[in-house]
Structure 1
Amino acid sequence: MKPITKWKRKQSAMCAAVALLAGLYSVVATAGDDHDHGRDHDHDRGSVKHVLLISFDGLHEQDVARCIGANTCPNLSLLAKSGTTYTNAHTPGLSDSFPGLAALVTGGSPKSAGLFYDVSYDRTFYAPSDSNCTGPTGWNVVFDETTGIDGENGGALIHLNGGGAFNPQAIPHALVNGVCTPVYPHNYLKTNTVFEVIKGNVHGARTAWADKHAWGYDWLNGPSGAGVDDLSRTEINSIDPDTNTYYLDTYQHTEKFDNYHVQSLIDEIDGKDSTGQMNAPVPTVFGANFQTLSVAQKATVATGGGYLDASFTPGPQVTGAIAYIDDALGRIVAELKQRGLYSSTAIIVTAKHGQSPTDHTKLVKNGDTLTKLLEANNYLDSGGAFGQAATKSGNLNDGTGLVGTGFVQTDDVGLIWLRDQSQASSVVKTLKDNLSCNAPGICADGPQAYILSGPQLANRFGDPSRGRTPDIIVQPNPGVIYTSSTAKDEEHGGNAPDDSHLGLVMYVPHAQHAGQVDNERVLTTQVAPTILRLLDLKPELLQSVAVEGTRPLPEFDHQD
């Protein structure tokens, strides 16, 4: 396919003069910048002054294709007609919210960014209560709704802003240059973010983001702790005072939560902060996460959730959710147009992750057979006596969990941090001896299932001996969810096709080849370096991009 736009070479004054005489090139004027060392002098960002990134969690490529074809998402369709639709976009191996969003804003997979799940494990960390780092290591890191101060001592999550501060019981410690140091979520991320790069290299830049957990998503600030000027503190697991119920109880109620994010974006477009209370420059890069579609997908088929067939025909709840997110997109774009910013704002619509299984004939919920098998063979303590599932108080993430126990995280994937890493080969053998879907089997006996360990795992996700990477990753058959829960029929986190194959639509102002459909396989990690290219910055300023060699999306992947 032809490029979406022709990025013109910047020439020095001498080269420009020669080009003018030869009639070969146009001279592209370049605005001055106090941080010009970060500029990508092979490209000019032209009219792009702002980049808006929107994550509609759960948005599959098939959802985009179906709703555009049926005209049930007219606003997304208009964006696609003015931009490029990537039909073959995928997450980089794991599809939980943390690695999914890290891909979009760091350009890296878990191997470099170090985020495997919002609930994970690090062998080098000390307990939150161990402020001198003198006890045993190995901590079950939980950066979710309980990371806010409302969660302290198991308290009720009664504030939309999570209580306005970190829960100190959720913050582990690590030895940093010999000093026992608290590890906040922004310290947990191993590489920098687009927010940090843009703040450091675009004069006068402002950054903003809104997500689902008020304090767990502090990691978006990056290791500097200051990447996002306006990080909206909204907690989806909090209690709505108007109904005394959680925003997650139904997808219609989740719409109310997501509307807070719509309003935050509108306020930012209008030259205010995310609260609408203070004047602020329109952000250079900003965006938000939306949960309505994800909640509708997870809802049981019996209640109208999920999909009706293997062709992604949406059920009643998903139909309603897609109508909602499209309307939300329309309101945001309308405000950009109203404020005269549409012609200078690039818009990227995608998702952190998909949802699996959309074909409910493949659904298998035999319970958490993986964890049970590990416990039964003494690879983990029985009865869930490990990590934050075994707090002395009974309150999740209050700092009283067990240290050095290993951990297993299961949804439609299994991430295993062993209590004793020397048992890895024995554990793999036990797993391979129990691949069937009959108890005690782990239902990983199909052609799309696999068990990663050893060098194969290290090459893809990093060396487990360094502390963060799981020892073993189990991808069960597509459709398997390691739960007996009757509350949901879909999940995410792994690398099943429905988890990883995402919608990706990108609008760039004044594109010369609008309405393109690109079928080339791309990864969501390519979004981050593309954002920098749009703003005339070098993609390699992102550490994960430099380490993993991540290329921008095809239209913007031009060698210097």
Structure 2
Amino acid sequence: MTTIRRWKRTQSAIGVSVALLAGLYSLGAAADDEHDHEHESVKHVLLISFDGLHEQDVARCIGSNACPNLALLAKSGTTYTNAHTPGLSDSFPGLAALVTGGSPKSAGLFYDVSYDRTLYAPSDSTCTGKQGWNVVFDETTGIDGENGGPLTNLNGGGAFNPQAIPKALVNGVCTPVYPHNYVKTNTIFEVVKGNVKHARTAWADKHAWGYDWLNGPSGAGVDDLSRTEINSIDPVTHTNYTDLYMHTEQFDNFHVQSLINQIDGMDSTGKSTADVPTLFGANFQTLSVAQKATVATGGGYLDASFTPGPQVTGAIAYLDNALGRIVSELKQHNLYSSTAIIVTAKHGQSPTDHSKLVKNGDTLSKLLEANNYLDPTGNFGQANTTSGNLNDGSGLVNTGFVQTDDVGLIWLRDQSQLPAVVKTLKANLSCNAPGICADGPQAYILYGSQLADRFGDPARGRTPDIIVQPNPGVIYTSSKAKDEEHGGNAPDDSHLGLVIYVPHAHHAGRTNDERVSTTQVAPTILRLLDLKPELLHSVAIEGTRALPGFEREHF
């Protein structure tokens, strides 16, 4: 029996057991008939991710009256001052936390560019070649990226790039693995659609086709998944929307308009009538782009106290205005009194204190290559394609992979080398060449049983063999275009803003300083819609609780 068959069989067994558990809880949800006024009032939930939004950003902008619309939500809701991501803070695991209730251990999403030892190359139509594929679900997942083509369309070309879709052997059949097949557990969109009568769901994000995983394993969780690609070429400027934060505002405006259209009783395009979604939301990138911009050009923060530089100041003002526009539309259609609104982020950004910034280049990958743990000339992962075009399916198989930003995820070419690799890493912890800058008290190298307990067993194929968290402030790059990044577990990556407004809430204006995880947002959303949180597989597997104040059936 192949590894992929064993993986699928294990997943199926987990899925059946969780489905049985979820079925028992769904009976209980249907039987509940005692609701207080507040609980009955929530007919819609709007989830907004302002990527990069730290808790300190929320506190500072409310305190200085720089975000009056967010302040009004906080005054009518609950602000959680100690919310954190579940260990990894890239966009995929960050959003998965919010919509599955789980960490990468159950949801299986570590990065939008990752690795799975059980998968076959997209070109392997019979699944008879080598296994081990560098999975890339980013802007090149749309058909515009086929053969390395230019990303000319806002909708990514309107279809999947077949060269970006790996294969798996499922019940003896070589089967494409789309993003919705790749996520290991269901999502809140699937749960809401399956358990709320006449429910409609919607979402808008930064990549048109890579975020197909939000649909969940059913492939149909999101009724209205807005296909917008931030890396597409703006026909006016002939650049993509990430070059300047003010240009990113134009991209985020597409999402604002999508939400307004949905509130107005149309689909995200505004071309068709549709019911207002029961669960809907969007991702915003403006703040993240402003934070990454170099301090020399006005990006990032001015000091360790999160004093925003000019670009971050402008980005926060834009996002607050966008929030105000959305809330105003809800009020205009008499929906504000029945819509819960959650404002948070997939991830933060590090380092906000520019004095801690270290950019020595990708010293982690270089060290691994130099010691022959990965190909010495860098020929590993499918980005090293025979054609030279990114993600065109002609990449190398079974090479292992390393993903670095302000974290390092290592999938070894030869897993038997784990002890030797760890020994080499520990012998080179300093920031002096060829060191990996992981010699501080907040740095660590995670592997073995500790890694397996937290993120799953690497032997099953998806989990990295080693996770390297360098000193806060370290970015494994020499890029001159950015001074901040995300992906790991540095404090500025993981400590996020979280404000929840619930109409008619008797606990309005509260601040809660208990340490919570962003995984707790998903079960809270289900509580608000009178659904059992355990209908989410990750919640049942990991025992995720709703946020404090929302744990009870009726609140």
The CA distance in 2 between the partners of 1:389 and 1:267, in whole Å, is: 38
In structure 2, the CA distance between the partners of 1:424 and 1:433, relative to structure 1 (3 Å rule), is: same
The CA distance in 1 between the partners of 2:31 and 2:427, in whole Å, is: 53
Q: What is the 5 A alignment of 1:91-490? A: 91-490=85-484
The CA distance in 2 between the partners of 1:530 and 1:432, in whole Å, is: 41
Q: Name the SS of the counterpart of 2:377 in structure 1.
A: helix
**Aligned partner of 2:211: which letter?**
Y
Cα pair 1:82 1:514 within 8 Å, conserved: yes
Cα pair 1:43 1:536 within 8 Å, conserved: no
Cα pair 1:212 1:236 within 8 Å, conserved: yes
Q: After TM superposition, give the deviation of residue 368 of structure 1 in Å.
A: 0.3
Q: Structure 1: any 5+ residue segments left out of the alignment? A: 1-34
Report the equivalent of 1:504.
498
1:80 aligned to which of 69, 74, 85: 74
In structure 2, the CA distance between the partners of 1:446 and 1:280, relative to structure 1 (3 Å rule), is: same
RMSD, matched Cα: 1.1
2:59 aligned to which of 35, 46, 65: 65
The CA distance in 1 between the partners of 2:451 and 2:84, in whole Å, is: 19
Report the equivalent of 1:528.
522
The CA distance in 2 between the partners of 1:115 and 1:55, in whole Å, is: 18
Q: After TM superposition, give the deviation of residue 433 of structure 1 in Å.
A: 0.3
Q: After TM superposition, give the deviation of residue 476 of structure 1 in Å.
A: 0.1
Cα pair 1:39 1:536 within 8 Å, conserved: no
Q: After TM superposition, give the deviation of residue 559 of structure 1 in Å.
A: 7.1
Q: Name the SS of the counterpart of 2:40 in structure 1.
A: coil
The CA distance in 1 between the partners of 2:431 and 2:489, in whole Å, is: 19
The CA distance in 2 between the partners of 1:359 and 1:381, in whole Å, is: 35
Q: Name the SS of the counterpart of 1:474 in structure 2.
A: strand
Q: After TM superposition, give the deviation of residue 502 of structure 1 in Å.
A: 0.1
Q: Deviations over 1:480-500 (max 9, x none)?
A: 000000000000000000000
Q: After TM superposition, give the deviation of residue 219 of structure 1 in Å.
A: 0.2
Q: Deviations over 1:202-253 (max 9, x none)?
A: 0000000000000000000000000000000000000001111111110000
Q: Deviations over 1:170-208 (max 9, x none)?
A: 000001122111000000000000000000000000000
The CA distance in 1 between the partners of 2:51 and 2:503, in whole Å, is: 25
The CA distance in 1 between the partners of 2:383 and 2:366, in whole Å, is: 14
**Aligned partner of 2:220: which letter?**
A
Q: Deviations over 1:243-278 (max 9, x none)?
A: 111111100000000000000000000000000000
The CA distance in 2 between the partners of 1:190 and 1:417, in whole Å, is: 19
In structure 2, the CA distance between the partners of 1:444 and 1:371, relative to structure 1 (3 Å rule), is: same
Length-normalised TM-score, structure 2: 0.94
Cα pair 1:86 1:518 within 8 Å, conserved: yes
Cα pair 2:83 2:498 within 8 Å, conserved: yes
Report the equivalent of 2:5.
none
Cα pair 1:148 1:215 within 8 Å, conserved: yes
1:557 aligned to which of 543, 551, 555: 551
In structure 2, the CA distance between the partners of 1:167 and 1:512, relative to structure 1 (3 Å rule), is: same
Length-normalised TM-score, structure 1: 0.93
The CA distance in 1 between the partners of 2:89 and 2:139, in whole Å, is: 19
Q: After TM superposition, give the deviation of residue 389 of structure 1 in Å.
A: 2.5
Q: Name the SS of the counterpart of 1:197 in structure 2.
A: helix
Report the equivalent of 2:32.
41
Q: After TM superposition, give the deviation of residue 473 of structure 1 in Å.
A: 0.1
Cα pair 1:40 1:537 within 8 Å, conserved: no
The CA distance in 2 between the partners of 1:459 and 1:555, in whole Å, is: 29
The CA distance in 2 between the partners of 1:177 and 1:458, in whole Å, is: 27
Q: Name the SS of the counterpart of 1:319 in structure 2.
A: helix
In structure 2, the CA distance between the partners of 1:266 and 1:179, relative to structure 1 (3 Å rule), is: same
The CA distance in 2 between the partners of 1:426 and 1:520, in whole Å, is: 40
1:50 aligned to which of 44, 55, 60: 44
Cα pair 1:38 1:201 within 8 Å, conserved: no
Q: Name the SS of the counterpart of 1:108 in structure 2.
A: coil
Q: Structure 2: any 5+ residue segments left out of the alignment? A: 1-25
Residue 493 of structure 1 pairs with residue 487 of structure 2: yes
Q: After TM superposition, give the deviation of residue 558 of structure 1 in Å.
A: 2.4
The CA distance in 1 between the partners of 2:457 and 2:50, in whole Å, is: 32
In structure 2, the CA distance between the partners of 1:365 and 1:217, relative to structure 1 (3 Å rule), is: same
Cα pair 1:174 1:181 within 8 Å, conserved: yes
The CA distance in 1 between the partners of 2:32 and 2:85, in whole Å, is: 30
Q: Name the SS of the counterpart of 2:105 in structure 1.
A: helix
Q: Name the SS of the counterpart of 1:348 in structure 2.
A: strand
Q: Name the SS of the counterpart of 1:391 in structure 2.
A: coil
Cα pair 1:43 1:533 within 8 Å, conserved: no
The CA distance in 2 between the partners of 1:532 and 1:36, in whole Å, is: 15
Cα pair 1:40 1:538 within 8 Å, conserved: no
**Aligned partner of 2:357: which letter?**
L
**Aligned partner of 2:311: which letter?**
Q
Report the equivalent of 2:513.
519
Cα pair 2:201 2:221 within 8 Å, conserved: yes
Q: After TM superposition, give the deviation of residue 388 of structure 1 in Å.
A: 1.8
